[in-house]
Amino acid sequence: MPEFSPWPDDSSAFHAPQSRPISPQQISHDPEFRSLRRARLRFATRATALSVGAFLLYVLLSSFAPGVMNEPLIGHFTLGLALGLGQFVVMAVTAWRYATYMRTKVDPLADHFRSQLRHEPLRPRPAAQAQTPAPAQAQGTRGFPTW
C-alpha cells in the first residue's frame, strides 16, 4: 500500500462513481435513441422503396411493353432478360448497403444503449472484429434475436 495517494479519500485506486440504473423508458425517451430509430427507419424505407420499385418497374414493363422487353441486345439475350438478371443485382446491392449501414451507423449506438441498460461498461471492438460480422446474436427474453 503506498504511503501517498493522489485520490482525495486516500485510497490506492480510483473507483468510478456508482451510476443509477437506467430504465428502458429513460432510454426510449432519449433524443439520441429517437434519432437512431428515425435513421434506421429512414434508411430501411428508402432501401425497400428502391427494391420494390425496381421489381414493380420490371413487372409493369413485362406486362405493358413486351415489345421493348423483347428487344435483342446480343444474339438471343434480350432487354427483358438483362433487366430480370438486374433484379438480382439490385437486391444484392440493397442488402449489402443495408448491412453496411447498420454495422457502421446503427450498431455502435445500439451497443451503447444496450450497455447502459445492462449497466455494463462499453467495450470497444477490436479493428479486426469490427469488419467481420458477429457469429451469433444475443437472444432476447422470448428467444428472438435482439437488435
Question: For residue range 11-23, what is the model confidence (pLDDT) as tens digits?
Answer: 555 444 445 557 7
Checking phi first, is residue 81 left (phi over 0); if not, alpha (psi -120 to 50) or beta? Answer: alpha
Question: How many domains are contained in the chain?
Answer: 1
- Written as one letter, the residue type at 21 is P
pLDDT for 109: 83
Range of the domain at 86: 24-120
**For the residues 119-126, what does the mean pLDDT come to?**
56
Q: Would the pLDDT of 1 be above 50?
A: no
64 within a domain of the structure (yes/no): yes
pLDDT for 11: 53
Residues 139 and 145: beta-carbon distance below 8 Å: yes
**For the residues 76-104, what does the mean pLDDT come to?**
92
Q: Specify the higher pLDDT residue, 125 or 146.
A: 146
**For the residues 56-77, what does the mean pLDDT come to?**
92
65 within a domain of the structure (yes/no): yes
Among 25, 49, 47, 139, which residue's Cα sits nearest to residue 100? 47
Q: Which three cell numbers stand for residue 73?
A: 441486345
Q: Would the pLDDT of 135 be above 80?
A: no
Residues 83 and 61: beta-carbon distance below 8 Å: yes
**For the residues 75-99, what does the mean pLDDT come to?**
93
18 within a domain of the structure (yes/no): no
4 within a domain of the structure (yes/no): no
5 within a domain of the structure (yes/no): no
Rounded distance between C-alpha atoms, residue 96 and residue 60, angstroms: 26
Q: What is the pLDDT of residues 24-51, one digit of tens each?
A: 777 777 788 888 888 889 999 999 999 9
pLDDT for 46: 93
89 within a domain of the structure (yes/no): yes
93 within a domain of the structure (yes/no): yes
138 within a domain of the structure (yes/no): no
